Chain A
Amino acid sequence: MAVISYREALRAAMREELKRDDKVVIMGEEVAQFNGAYKVTEGLLKEFGPKRVVDTPISEAGFIGLGIGASMLGIRPVMELMFWSFSYVAFDQIVNNAGNIRYMSGGLINCPIVIRGPANGGTNVGATHSHTPEAILASHPGIKVVCPATPYDAKGLLKAAIRDNDPVYVMENTILYNDKGEVPDEDYIVPLGVADVKREGIDLTIVAHGRAVITSLKAAEILEQEHGVSVEVVDLRSIRPLDEETILASVRKTHRALLVEENKPFCGVDAQVAYLIQSKAFDELDAPIHRVSSIDAPQIYCKRMEDQQLPDVNRVVREALKVLA
């Protein structure tokens, strides 16, 4: 078991899948010669050559659409978006084409494409580069969305995504790229749609995804140390498909739920999770469900304020105590 970074875990997933399947192609802006805007694909061009690792022009609608078209013929493109924020100029390709073709063809066609890249705030780059579109995209049947929080999950989910025969959109986080964790040396995948209990507890369930998991784990530690509360943290890992059973099982155990995400609150992922809990475990609840999300405004530039706009440990602790009151 090696200890590697989230970035290295993603790279290892791509390297292994490039070796395993010659239909896998890495494609995106600056992924090859430049070694990746965030160095996720570093060294892959040297190892696999320009047929397998391809630099694209700044042309998201064009190259994402090209990848989707190629996937219909059996190529398995892994497309990097420098930021998921840039997906918005390729929205027609990502949603209308990749998401609908299987359905509109009555099941004759499928698109085994992966689109990956960072989707997060907190990096002091302003509103246009800080979008978190997991809820927007997961709201479209036909599309799958995963948000890994740890190196282990980043590698396992990306490998599963590459082997999956549907469009899978992997949303990473630049702030997590240097986080380190244990990753097995042998081949493994994390199947899509399986949540992970990252910390066990009995008094409160926190449901989170992406970096909000890391924030929630820190908050859980404080809640235990300073308030004597035992918190269970459920990491969704996958937004669609969604592991409803793991969420519900945890709520049935703790009878209280706090939902944490870095999305804006309106129609966020947690709006769906809250509905799930109230519709399938209402009688289990001893208190109303609470949420912690980003403050509902376009992402602010000022770093000090952006840190407050995002869910932080203090806010999660405060809100948890309200649910426990």
Chain B
Amino acid sequence: MAKPAVLTHPESLKRPAGPSDYAKDPVNASMSKAEKIALYTKMARIRHFEQRCIRIYQQGKIGGFLHLYVGQEAVAAGTISLLGKHDHIITGYRDHGHGLMVGMGMNECMAELTGRVTGCSQGKGGSMHYFAPDKNYWGGHGIVGGQAPLGTGLAYAVKYMGLKGSCLAYMGDGAVNQGAVHEAYNLAALWDLPMIFVIENNGYSMGTSQERSTAHPGCLAKRAEGYDMAWDVINGHDVYEVRAKTALALKRAHEESKPTVLEIFTYRYFGHSMADPDKTYRDKEEIKEYREKKDPVLAFEQELLREKVLTPELSQEINDAAMAEADKAAVFADESPDPTVADITKHIYWEEDNRGPDTTSRGTIIFE
């Protein structure tokens, strides 16, 4: 058994979840009751969607890889809940939570997992490749760290067009050792781009703990100093803290056009993917500790109960509805048709899908 990772957690992460230190932060205090309930509802929806996915995967209906977001909900929920019209996001392959947060429907998300033509990418992307550009969500990327330069390009485009916006590029803790991430850091800092790199630090790059993968594992965000970028560490189990600290980074992006690296400590309850039996690199006690004492969805529920925003009955209602929605999505995904053989060769080139007298392409582009 490998030693568990040694992490430099923010103070609040070292104790079991309790009243948030950030409830009175202006960005949270200014939320209406309805907004708070909506945020909790979104977190619950991610939780129940992912748990429904496990059952479908176990039934053999989801192929390939399935990387679950259970345990990390407050990261996507907290950050994305702050975004405006010109703020964009892009992430790696653990991308379901972000999709649901930007407003993708459970049906299209579930149907993508089962490879149906009704899926968000018409069954061509799969679990790792969700996209919703109409909602400023640019994927869903399979290669660790490969999305970081793309995100930097989104931030570049926002700045080029003179818009007050930003891009949040999410990645796992394993991505910080990829060259592409460092190249993106350099460009974002060099060109003063409105960029927020969000390291979702769940402690393990697949099955390798930080101390076995990363030089100076205590604080990954600190690498930002090498690029003269601002950075912060966040307790990712407290959605209020995520919002409070992300809001500062967003302000820096919007008002100063400066990048930030945020390291958000979080935890995944399941293996790296469903293909990971999760038996070799961490012990059950560690998982139990997080589930019982620091769960981000439960913690926010408790917070809202204390604030008397939620009642146990309303919470039950919200969770029942999310479960029912996930059940319905599972049926939808099951009953939807597959793409056809003819669909295999669509959506490869814009110019082919829109070929006309004015398009710049002729000749054969798909070969027998």
Q: Hey, which bits of chain A sit against chain B, CB under 8 A?
A: 25, 51, 56-57, 59, 61-75, 92-93, 96-97, 101-110, 112, 141-142, 144, 160-161, 163-166, 189, 191-195, 238, 240-245, 272, 279
Q: Is B271 an interface residue (CB 8 A)?
A: no
Q: Are B124 and A106 in contact (CB under 8 A)?
A: yes
Can you list 10 A-B pairs, Cβ within 8 angstroms, ordered by A?
A59-B187, A65-B152, A67-B153, A69-B151, A69-B154, A92-B180, A109-B131, A193-B364, A244-B364, A272-B367
Q: Are A62 and B350 in contact (CB under 8 A)?
A: no
**Interface size in chain B (residues, C-beta < 8 A):** 58
Q: Are B139 and A193 in contact (CB under 8 A)?
A: no
Q: How far is the CA of A105 from the CA of B178 in the complex (A)?
A: 24
Q: Are A194 and B121 in contact (CB under 8 A)?
A: no
B157: which of A75, A107, A189 is its contact (CB, 8 Å)? A75
Q: Which residue of A lies closest to B149 (CB)?
A: A65
- Most A CB contacts (10 A, CB to CB) among B129, B167, B180, B183 go to B183
Q: How far is the CA of A238 from the CA of B124 in the complex (A)?
A: 28
Q: Are A72 and B350 in contact (CB under 8 A)?
A: no
Q: Which residue of B lies closest to A105 (CB)?
A: B131
Q: How far is the CA of A164 from the CA of B153 in the complex (A)?
A: 19
A69: which of B143, B156, B361 is its contact (CB, 8 Å)? B156
**Stretch from B46-54, B210-218, B307-315, B341-349 at the A interface:** B341-349
What chain B residues lie within 8 Å of A104 (beta carbons)? 121, 124-125, 129, 131, 139-140
Q: Are A193 and B363 in contact (CB under 8 A)?
A: yes
Would A241 and B365 be within 8 Å (CB), given that A62-B180, A141-B348 are in contact?
Answer: yes
Chain B contacts with A in 145-195, Cβ cutoff 8 A? 146, 148-154, 156-158, 160-161, 167, 179-180, 183-184, 186-187, 190
Q: Are A25 and B153 in contact (CB under 8 A)?
A: no
Q: Is B133 an interface residue (CB 8 A)?
A: yes
> B194 to nearest A CB, angstroms?
13
What chain B residues lie within 8 Å of A240 (beta carbons)? 365
What chain A residues lie within 8 Å of B183 (beta carbons)? 59, 61-63, 65
Q: How far is the CA of A72 from the CA of B138 in the complex (A)?
A: 8
> A208 to nearest B CB, angstroms?
17
Q: Are A102 and B347 in contact (CB under 8 A)?
A: yes
Q: Is B11 an interface residue (CB 8 A)?
A: no
> A304 to nearest B CB, angstroms?
38
Query: Told that A243-B363, A272-B367 touch, could you supply 4 new A-B pairs with CB distance under 8 A?
Result: A62-B183, A63-B149, A68-B150, A238-B363
What chain B residues lie within 8 Å of A61 (beta carbons)? 149, 179-180, 183
- Most B CB contacts (10 A, CB to CB) among A61, A73, A238 go to A73
Q: Are A101 and B157 in contact (CB under 8 A)?
A: no
What chain A residues lie within 8 Å of B149 (beta carbons)? 61-66, 68-69, 93
Q: Are A165 and B152 in contact (CB under 8 A)?
A: no
Q: Is B3 an interface residue (CB 8 A)?
A: no
Q: Are A73 and B157 in contact (CB under 8 A)?
A: yes
Q: How far is the CA of A104 from the CA of B142 in the complex (A)?
A: 11
> B302 to nearest A CB, angstroms?
38
What chain A residues lie within 8 Å of B186 (beta carbons)? 57, 59, 62
Q: Are B146 and A110 in contact (CB under 8 A)?
A: no
A109: which of B119, B138, B365, B366 is its contact (CB, 8 Å)? B138
Q: Is B120 an interface residue (CB 8 A)?
A: yes
Q: Are B360 and A163 in contact (CB under 8 A)?
A: yes
Q: Are A108 and B364 in contact (CB under 8 A)?
A: no
What chain A residues lie within 8 Å of B157 (beta carbons)? 69-70, 72-75
What chain B residues lie within 8 Å of A279 (beta carbons)? 368
Q: Which residue of B lies closest to A280 (CB)?
A: B368
Q: Which residue of A lies closest to B156 (CB)?
A: A70
What chain B residues lie within 8 Å of A144 (beta carbons)? 349, 361, 365
> B174 to nearest A CB, angstroms?
15
Q: Are B153 and A66 in contact (CB under 8 A)?
A: yes
What chain B residues lie within 8 Å of A109 (beta carbons)? 131, 133, 138
